[in-house]
Homo-oligomer: A and B are copies of this chain.
């Protein structure tokens, strides 16, 4: 039997039940909103077994997970799987992947600014470049270039000073360069073309085979830390010092919409993770060069490591100046701004580099008391 009194009790009971249920679920919901997991996919240019280049990818995923308490979960896929090593720009733009890891000069045919932002022949070394990028206006110019494609871009590891490349034959004169089929991308490729080389860009996985079969006569790839694992020294015995990519910076590409869909605190986590990954990658590239150049000297004495004759270097510098002048006439006002910004900063930065690091290296005296 239900009395009016017991009805009141039931009503109180229900009101109380609903009130606390509401409080409980509101509280659970707040935790859930704060805990929403974002699953992102990253595509990279490199094959899976390419440690120095895949390290920043693994590293950005590790940091994002750790610093977000598992809320920003980045999985990644290399060219071994997606089969589009040079398709990263498109796949991130279309949001097939939220982000990518690649190198800017691969998009030279879409927008030449991507190449001159990566590195300029005879341009800044890594230390100068980082100061230009973060404190000399470089970051803002870079963002301007990529934002029209709906992309954000961030540094992703500096490869350091690159070598001029592996050649099957000795290069003694400009004549020796004419007609050579060489893998060399970016502005360096354009400059080489101006002195008669036939430049091409093919994926890293095909370089060894192309040198071996003779479909390439020379390969510019990177520096000892990276090149040695590719066994290019088995096929080409002349290794020339660099002029074309003094500080190429790899890049993280992020789809703009995907970036904006992240809560602000996860945007901070993502940016911090990319910066940490880039810093660590730059250090690893240098360490690999230290170890592998030592290896090259001790294990491959048949390789001749040398500079191009100065006449060739002067020609390459002349052609670089012509190419830059021509680029500065571009319809896109950003092109002139990017070149001017870099050259102006470099002019000042190089004075300090010469007084600081260069003078120190040139005057240094060995203090080795161990060996």
Q: Which of B127, B134, B325, B340 contacts A126 (CB 8 A)?
A: B127
Which bracket fits the contact residues of A?
A: 35 or more
Q: Which chain B positions have C-beta within 8 A of A325?
A: 369
Query: At the interface, is chain A mostly helix, strand, loop or mixed?
Result: helix
Asked if A358 is at the interface of the complex by the 8 Å CB criterion, the answer is yes
Contact (Cβ within 8 A) A360 B16:
no
Whole-angstrom CA separation of A371 from B346 in the bound complex: 11
Whole-angstrom CA separation of A154 from B49 in the bound complex: 32
Q: Which chain B positions have C-beta within 8 A of A290?
A: 128, 131, 136, 345, 348-349, 351-352
Q: B-facing mask of A52-85, CB < 8 A → 1, else 0?
A: 0000000000010011010000000000000000
Given contacts A12-B13, A131-B283, contact A365 B242 (CB under 8 A): no
Asked if A258 is at the interface of the complex by the 8 Å CB criterion, the answer is no
Q: Which chain B positions have C-beta within 8 A of A321?
A: 367, 369
Q: B-facing mask of A355-368, CB < 8 A → 1, else 0?
A: 11111111111111
Chain B residue nearest in CB terms to A351:
B293
Asked if A202 is at the interface of the complex by the 8 Å CB criterion, the answer is no
Asked if A130 is at the interface of the complex by the 8 Å CB criterion, the answer is yes
Whole-angstrom CA separation of A274 from B290 in the bound complex: 26
Whole-angstrom CA separation of A290 from B272 in the bound complex: 26
Asked if A317 is at the interface of the complex by the 8 Å CB criterion, the answer is yes
Asked if A287 is at the interface of the complex by the 8 Å CB criterion, the answer is yes
Residues 124-166 of A contacting B (Cβ, < 8 Å): 125-128, 130-131, 134-136, 160-161
Asked if A307 is at the interface of the complex by the 8 Å CB criterion, the answer is yes
Contact (Cβ within 8 A) A360 B275:
no
A295 → chain B closest CB, angstroms: 10
Asked if A269 is at the interface of the complex by the 8 Å CB criterion, the answer is yes
Q: Which chain B positions have C-beta within 8 A of A160?
A: 356
Chain B residue nearest in CB terms to A68:
B67
Asked if A122 is at the interface of the complex by the 8 Å CB criterion, the answer is yes
Q: Which chain B positions have C-beta within 8 A of A224?
A: 352
Q: Which chain B positions have C-beta within 8 A of A286?
A: 127-128, 130-131, 349, 352
Given contacts A6-B9, A17-B20, A339-B369, 13 further A-B contacts (CB under 8 A): A20-B24, A67-B67, A123-B367, A128-B286, A134-B280, A135-B283, A161-B356, A223-B356, A241-B355, A297-B351, A313-B365, A321-B369, A343-B368
The residues of A with any CB-CB pair to B shorter than 8 Å are 3, 5-6, 9-10, 12-13, 16-17, 20-21, 23-24, 27-28, 30-31, 63, 66-67, 69, 120-123, 125-128, 130-131, 134-136, 160-161, 223-224, 241-243, 246, 265, 268-269, 272, 275-276, 279-280, 283-284, 286-287, 289-291, 293-294, 297, 305, 307, 310, 313-314, 317, 320-321, 324-325, 328, 339-340, 343-345, 347-349, 351-371
